[in-house]
């Protein structure tokens, strides 16, 4: 035994310290994963990367209308299985100047014999246009409840701000209807598991 | 992989000084099965991990062979598309989480304490627990094959909403098993970090540690950083499936792309978790058989650390076609290309170590050399994939399949095999049968290349991955791949034979089994007795 | 020995590389768009860079393995560090990467420029088919794989385009910038045609953009590339690129079909609704020559009001609209107007501006005439 003994007491203390620190880091990373969800939303809202639009009303920016350019705004409405509704828009395409406030009417129609809840989820392309799209009024902010056969008109009031990048000449707004599953009783089978009709 | 048969020596049975760290060593040891269930010895747990990993390697391999058999020729012959998807998914999950990761943890268990002169892992009972989580996790995962609706069928990357809204009912069990496997990895990582940071032989500084220890330390930090993120993602999936949240469903205001961001934030470091310890192994073997010190030890450490850090900044290169904005594409393209630099440094260091060495070609060396060549080929295709505009053509084709199999099979798996051949004399006291090892090596090399090289061509020619049937122009490539896979799979039986023979007997190995080996593990007898370094060894720094 | 090895190595390298360069079906297709060619050239550049690095690195490696074998009496040297060399092999790859990043960045910027597209097509992925909607054209259809199941199961011989054929391809004109808007109804799909170098994920609830400008007419085939469930492998993409005029004709045909479908040519139409529809068609198509009040501009454009030839002979009247008058300015409206429009405009002309034929021309009659 010419070697000094290992400092076992010190090693044990060291091990304990390491464990405490790694466990703290673990807890932190687990929390971070969940924090990434709202962070991602904020990040997307700031950078416009996923083409999601603001989920609440924004005020109009009063700015001079840029009459030097016209932007084509396309509206696409899509249904989805599981919600027997139709969403229509009065005009599929409008030409607007940046800065100008515009109104377009959409019609929701429940074609079924049951009342149901649904919402129209928006997506904008190109995605970076979403930063410059201000929605003053939009049916997409809230869930809709339609009686059997009911038809409602809902306006979209929006403004494309003047700082819209010059390379953007067309903005496409897509609204997809989705059922609000937890409010619809009984839960509608909106999915087919694995088995398709083509099998 | 090898059963360890303890042969207590007189000194060990009288050593009592440091009972504090490995207190269970000196109780009356249970016998038979219970000995393995309750063991806290890093060597026995290491063997358990390796045996478990080899079992999973064969199960995952059989799944791969089912896939390759179906793809042997165009048309559906053997399995339904639904089952085919379950096979690709289970193959990926089992190979990544059940075979490669546990193999590296097993090697770390065996070798980290021996290489740093520690008597055991810092937390022996935790070590036992983290191992035994694995058989539970993977039994659960495999049992999903027999559940109504079948096993997970959405690929090992389990993209939402295919894995949430459209998933089979067994998905909840898949999530649970992945949680268990994740906890096992995390506990293993804590243990390895605690061991390396606190139990080094007196006088051994961080920069004196063998590279296998260094790479594992960095790997363990990666595990600590990303396994909780994986846990977070699958918890969100669980909530989306069972509790009506919509993290990943556009219907409720979520975003399926968020899933991919979170998954790859875990997933990219994960692929380095699968390769960094391999770098460490190769960095031990090449100097041994070139009889020359590793070139650029410090730059190896820095390169490993840079790769680990960069791995957090490149995740979205898996998502070049999901519609990222231009700036993001550019950022992730540049960051990904940058990884080629430290990776290149490693390859150059290995080759310079060979240069002007005195080289022999024992089985571990053969596998290590094949690793360097074939991993580099995988690195090249990785560099091509990093070029975002070209990736629009490569993405989700067999070119990607070829790429990651080159870095994982002749990469990670060959490194594990090299490690097994390298350390088998230390574990069993016998050399592996040389001729059979060579047969195993050459069959594996031929099989691997026959399997994966043609995938480059089929991918470039336009074959998407994860399809059970394909257009006629891909037929020849697929036939070659399938034959290669069969050869590669079958040749692993030789591997098992070599290991079994080596455990049972063979040419006796001395303490220093390889003439050029320098690290501390070669200072203990072969086979390593149950208790080693209960008194810290005399660590001598190599003379500069 | 060594020369033999060098020869074998060179032969093997050539054997591996030559098909890549030469043979079609082994390499990325060059494709039929400016972008696909750019991407192909990026691909080949980075490929040759990798080959060059590989030759050097593996060259040194195999040289060392043969030259410094212990069996040949090699003694190990004792160097293990060299700052200069280490800096060099960090810096040189970095420079190569920068050189590579420059063209890649340019191409990527190009790929992201969707502005000034002339045609917008919405592509929707569904388990397991594609749906195409021509925005602003009222044309939409789904495109399903048309390979018979018997071929997949092996009961029938597999034909040339096995798994890569559809019932209705996406038809696009050449030399026209087309913007593709991609989304999905259920899970994530990915729309890929190798020869167009377009691959883009279609994500439920979100829209992605991409664009293509095809330069050569032809049929281009691809597949869904994102695992989307059971029939992921059976979801081909087929694009048929036509010359512009052929595309216009196709478009007209499709539109006609669409309107025909929408309007219901089979039913009996009332005089009033035919008059209403006919007035619209007359206003947009006929009035520029025959004038809104039917007075025409004789002699080139005869008056329709009070035109007895027309009123007395309904068959001649319809025939004139469908087939035009050869040698005159009157074109054939056979393919530009659909049966409903032809019937309506004929009815309108027979009953407007004081004309009082009192009869109606039914769309079903037109359909019969057109089918003859």
Which CATH number characterizes residue A146's domain? 2.60.370.10
pLDDT bin (cut points 50, 70, 90) of residue B13 is very low
Domain that holds residue A9: 1-47
Same domain, A115 and A37: no
Whether residues A178 and B20 touch (CB distance < 8 A) is answered with no
For position A141, what pLDDT does the model report?
Answer: 72
CATH code linked to domain C267-371? 1.10.760.10
Overall domain count for chain B: 1
- pLDDT tier for residue C263 given thresholds of 50, 70 and 90: low
Among residues A30, A47, A64, which one ends one of the domains?
A47
Is the domain of A119 the same as that of A193? yes
CB contact under 8 A, C183 and A170: no
Angle at B300 (CA atoms; ends B299, B304), nearest 5 degrees: 115
Give chain A's residues under pLDDT 70. Answer: 1-7, 48-57, 80-82, 181-199
A157 lies in the same domain as A120: yes
Whole-number average pLDDT of chain B: 92
Give the number of other CB atoms < 10 A from CB of residue C244: 12
Chain B hits for A128, CB-CB cut-off 8 Å, are 325
Q: How far apart are CA C216 and CA C242, in angstroms?
A: 8
B195 vs chain C: nearest CA distance in angstroms?
Answer: 28
Is A37 in the same domain as A132?
no
More confident residue, C285 or B324: B324
Crossing angle, helix B211-242 and helix B101-116, to 10 degrees?
A: 140
pLDDT at C14: 58
Of A40, A51, A194, the CB nearest to B168: A194
The nearest alpha carbon in chain A to B220 belongs to A22
Q: Which of A72-86, B91-105, B350-364, C198-212 has the lowest mean pLDDT?
A: A72-86
Number of domains in chain A: 2
**Partner-chain contact C64 B389, CB within 8 Å:** no
Contact state of A50 with C179 under an 8 Å Cβ cutoff = no
CATH architecture of C119-148+155-262: Sandwich (2.60)
Residue B29 included in any domain: no
| Of the partner residues A4, A55, A179, the one whose CB lies closest to the CB of residue B202 | A4
Mean pLDDT computed over every residue of chain C: 86
Residue B537 lies in a domain: no
pLDDT of res. C328? 63
Whole-Å CA distances, B127 to B48, B121, B122, B271, C351: 11, 8, 9, 23, 96
For residue B54, is it within any domain?
yes
pLDDT tens, position by position, B478-524: 999 999 999 999 999 999 999 999 999 999 999 999 999 989 999 99
Cβ neighbours of B356 in C, within 8 Å: 64, 68, 74, 76-77, 79
Q: What is the pLDDT of residues C290-299, one digit of tens each?
A: 888 888 877 7
**Of residues B21, B82, B257, nearest to A8 (C-beta):** B21
Average pLDDT rounded to a whole number, residues C341-349: 90
Domain contains B540: no
pLDDT at C243: 96
How do the domains of chain C map onto residue ranges? 2-60+84-111, 119-148+155-262, 267-371
Nearest CA in chain C to B75: C152
3-state secondary structure B392-433: HHHCCEHHHHHHHHHHHHHHHHHHHHHHHHHHHHHHHCECCC
Contacts of C132 in chain A (CB under 8 A): none
Alpha carbon B189 to its chain centroid, in Å, reads 14
- State which residues form the domain around B126: 38-522
DSSP letters along B39-89, please?
A: ---HHHHHHHHHHHHHHHHHHHHHHHHHHHHHTTSSS--SS-HHHHHHHHH
Q: How close, in Å, is residue B537 to chain C by CA atoms? A: 25
Q: Give the one of A1, A15, A19 whose C-beta lies nearest to B535's C-beta.
A: A1
**Residues of chain C contacting A, Cβ within 8 Å:** 113-117, 120, 122, 124, 127-128, 135-136, 144, 179, 181, 183, 185-186, 204-209, 229-231, 234
CB-CB under 8 Å, A179 with B202: no
Contact C347, C273 (CB under 8 A): no
Is B252 in Cβ contact with A181 (below 8 Å)?
Answer: yes
Q: Which residues of B carry out catalysis?
A: 91, 120, 156, 184-185, 268, 270, 272, 283, 317-318, 343, 346, 465
Query: What ipTM was assigned to the predicted interfaces of this complex?
Result: 0.89
For residue A199, the chain C residues in CB contact (below 8 A) are 230-231
Q: What beta strand segments (E) does B84-158 contain?
A: none
Q: How far apart are CA B259 and CA B256, in angstroms?
A: 5
A34 and A57 share one domain: no
C13 interface with B at CB cutoff 8 Å: no
- The proportion of chain C whose per-residue pLDDT surpasses 70, expressed as a percent, equals 88
Please give the average per-residue pLDDT across B214-223, as a whole number.
Answer: 97
- Which residue among B330, B353, B377 sits closest to C108, beta carbon to beta carbon? B330
Residue B24 covered by a domain: no
Residue B320: give its domain's CATH number: 1.20.210.10
pLDDT at C38 over 90: yes
Q: What is the pLDDT of residues B132-173, one digit of tens each?
A: 999 999 999 999 999 988 999 999 999 989 999 889 999 999
Q: Quick check: B288 and B516 in contact, CB under 8 A?
A: yes
Q: Which chains touch C (3 or more CB pairs under 8 A)?
A: A, B
CA dist., res. C100 & res. B384, Å (int): 10
Q: Could you tell me the two tokens for A138? A: 């939009």
Contact A81 C135 (CB under 8 A): no
Say whether C188 and B159 touch across the interface (CB within 8 A).
yes
B473 touches chain C (CB under 8 A): yes
- Tell me the two tokens of residue C295: 């007075």
């Amino acid at each position: 035994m010419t070697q000094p003994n290992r400092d076992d007491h010190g090693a044990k203390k060291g091990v304990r310290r390491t464990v405490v620190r790694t466990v703290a880091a673990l807890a932190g990373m687990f929390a971070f994963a969940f924090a990434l969800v709202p962070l991602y939303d904020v990040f997307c809202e700031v950078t416009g990367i996923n083409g999601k639009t603001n989920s609440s009303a924004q005020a109009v920016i009063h700015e001079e209308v840029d009459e030097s350019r016209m932007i084509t705004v396309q509206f696409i409405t899509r249904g989805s299985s599981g919600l027997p509704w139709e969403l229509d828009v009065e005009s599929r395409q409008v030409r607007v100047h940046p800065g100008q406030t515009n109104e377009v009417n959409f019609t929701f129609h429940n074609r079924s014999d049951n009342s149901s809840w649904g919402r129209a989820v928006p997506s904008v392309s190109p995605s970076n246009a979403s930063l410059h799209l201000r929605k003053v009024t939009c049916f997409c902010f809230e869930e809709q409840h339609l009686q059997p056969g009911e038809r409602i008109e809902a306006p979209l009031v929006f403004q494309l701000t003047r700082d819209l990048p010059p390379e953007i000449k067309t903005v496409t707004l897509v609204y997809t209807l989705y059922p609000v599953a937890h409010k619809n009783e009984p839960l509608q089978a909106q999915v087919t598991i694995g088995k398709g009709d083509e099998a | 992989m090898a059963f360890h048969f303890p042969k207590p020596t007189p000194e060990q049975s009288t050593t009592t000084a440091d009972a504090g760290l490995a207190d269970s060593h000196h109780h009356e040891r249970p016998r038979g099965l219970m000995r393995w269930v309750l063991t806290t010895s890093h060597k026995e747990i290491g063997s358990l991990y390796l045996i478990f990993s080899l079992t999973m390697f064969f199960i995952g391999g059989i799944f791969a062979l089912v896939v390759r058999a179906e793809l042997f020729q165009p048309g559906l012959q053997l399995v339904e598309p639904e089952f085919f998807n379950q096979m690709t998914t289970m193959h990926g999950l089992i190979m990544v989480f059940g075979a490669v990761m546990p193999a590296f943890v097993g090697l770390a268990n065996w070798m980290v304490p021996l290489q740093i002169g520690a008597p055991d892992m810092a937390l022996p009972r935790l070590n036992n627990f983290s191992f035994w989580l694995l058989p539970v996790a993977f039994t659960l995962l495999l049992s999903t094959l027999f559940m109504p609706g079948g096993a997970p069928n959405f690929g090992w990357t389990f993209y939402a909403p295919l894995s949430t809204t459209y998933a089979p009912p067994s998905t909840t069990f898949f999530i649970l098993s992945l949680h268990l496997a994740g906890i096992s990895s995390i506990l293993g990582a804590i243990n390895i970090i605690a061991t390396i940071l606190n139990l080094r032989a007196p006088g051994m500084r961080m920069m004196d540690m063998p590279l296998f220890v260094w790479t594992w330390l960095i790997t363990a930090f990666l595990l600590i950083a990303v396994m909780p993120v994986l846990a977070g993602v699958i918890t969100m999936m669980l909530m989306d499936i069972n509790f009506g949240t919509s993290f990943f469903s556009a219907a409720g205001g979520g975003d399926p792309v968020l899933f991919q961001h979170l998954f790859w934030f875990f997933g990219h470091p994960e692929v380095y978790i699968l390769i960094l310890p391999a770098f460490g192994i190769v960095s031990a073997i090449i100097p041994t058989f070139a009889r020359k010190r590793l070139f650029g030890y410090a730059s190896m450490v820095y390169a490993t650390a840079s790769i680990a850090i960069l791995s957090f900044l490149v995740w979205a290169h898996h998502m070049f076609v999901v519609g990222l904005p231009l700036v993001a594409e550019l950022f992730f393209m540049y960051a990904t290309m940058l990884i080629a630099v430290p990776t290149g440094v490693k390859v150059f260091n290995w080759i310079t170590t060979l240069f002007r060495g005195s080289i022999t070609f024992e089985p571990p060396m053969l596998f290590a050399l094949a690793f360097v060549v074939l991993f580099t080929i995988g690195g090249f295709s990785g560099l091509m994939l990093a070029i975002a505009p070209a990736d629009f053509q490569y993405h989700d084709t067999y070119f990607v399949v070829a790429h990651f199999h080159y870095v994982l099979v002749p990469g990670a798996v060959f490194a594990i095999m090299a490690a097994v051949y390298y350390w088998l004399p230390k574990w069993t006291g016998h050399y592996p049968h040389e001729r059979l090892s060579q047969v195993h090596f050459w069959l594996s090399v031929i099989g691997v290349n026959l399997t994966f090289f043609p995938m480059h061509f089929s991918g470039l020619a336009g074959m998407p991955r994860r399809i059970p049937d394909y257009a006629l122009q891909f037929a020849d490539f697929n036939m070659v791949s399938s034959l290669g896979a069969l050869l590669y799979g079958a040749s692993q039986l030789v591997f098992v034979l070599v290991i079994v023979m080596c455990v049972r007997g063979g040419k006796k190995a001395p303490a220093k089994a390889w003439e050029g080996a320098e690290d501390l593990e070669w200072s203990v007898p072969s086979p390593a007795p149950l208790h080693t370094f209960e008194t810290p060894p005399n660590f001598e720094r190599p003379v500069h | 020995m060594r020369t033999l090895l060098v020869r074998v190595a060179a032969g093997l390298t050539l054997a591996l590389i030559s098909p890549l360069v030469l043979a079609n079906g082994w390499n990325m297709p060059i494709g039929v768009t400016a972008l696909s060619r750019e991407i192909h050239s990026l691909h080949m550049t980075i490929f040759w860079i990798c080959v060059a690095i590989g030759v050097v690195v593996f060259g040194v490696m195999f040289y060392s393995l043969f030259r410094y074998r212990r069996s040949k009496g090699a003694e190990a040297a004792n160097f293990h560090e060299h700052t200069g060399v280490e800096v060099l092999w960090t810096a040189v790859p970095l420079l190569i990467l920068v050189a590579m990043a420059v063209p890649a960045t340019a191409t990527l910027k190009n790929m992201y420029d969707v502005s000034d597209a002339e045609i917008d097509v919405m592509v929707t992925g569904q388990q397991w088919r594609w749906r195409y909607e021509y925005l602003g054209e009222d044309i939409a259809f789904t495109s399903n794989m048309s390979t018979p199941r018997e071929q997949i199961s092996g009961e029938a011989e597999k034909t040339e385009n096995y798994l890569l054929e559809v019932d209705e391809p996406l038809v696009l004109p050449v030399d026209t910038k087309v913007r593709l808007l991609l989304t999905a109804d259920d899970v994530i799909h990915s729309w890929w045609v190798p020869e167009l170098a377009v691959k883009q994920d279609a994500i439920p609830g979100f829209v992605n953009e991409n664009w293509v400008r095809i330069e050569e007419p032809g049929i281009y085939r691809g597949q869904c590339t994102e695992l989307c469930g059971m029939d992921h492998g059976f979801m081909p993409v087929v694009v048929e690129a036509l010359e512009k005029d052929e595309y216009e004709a196709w478009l007209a045909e499709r539109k006609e079909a669409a309107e025909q479908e929408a309007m219901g040519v089979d039913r009996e139409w009332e005089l009033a609704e035919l008059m209403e529809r006919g007035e619209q068609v007359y206003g947009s198509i006929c009035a520029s020559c025959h004038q809104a009040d039917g007075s025409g501009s004789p002699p080139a454009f005869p008056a329709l009001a009070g035109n007895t030839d027309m009123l007395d002979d309904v068959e001649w009247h319809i025939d004139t609209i469908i087939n035009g008058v050869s040698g005159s300015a009157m074109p054939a409206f056979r393919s530009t107007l659909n049966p409903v429009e032809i019937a309506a405009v004929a009815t309108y002309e027979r009953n407007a501006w004081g004309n009082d034929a009192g009869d109606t021309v039914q769309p079903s009659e037109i359909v019969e005439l057109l089918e003859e």
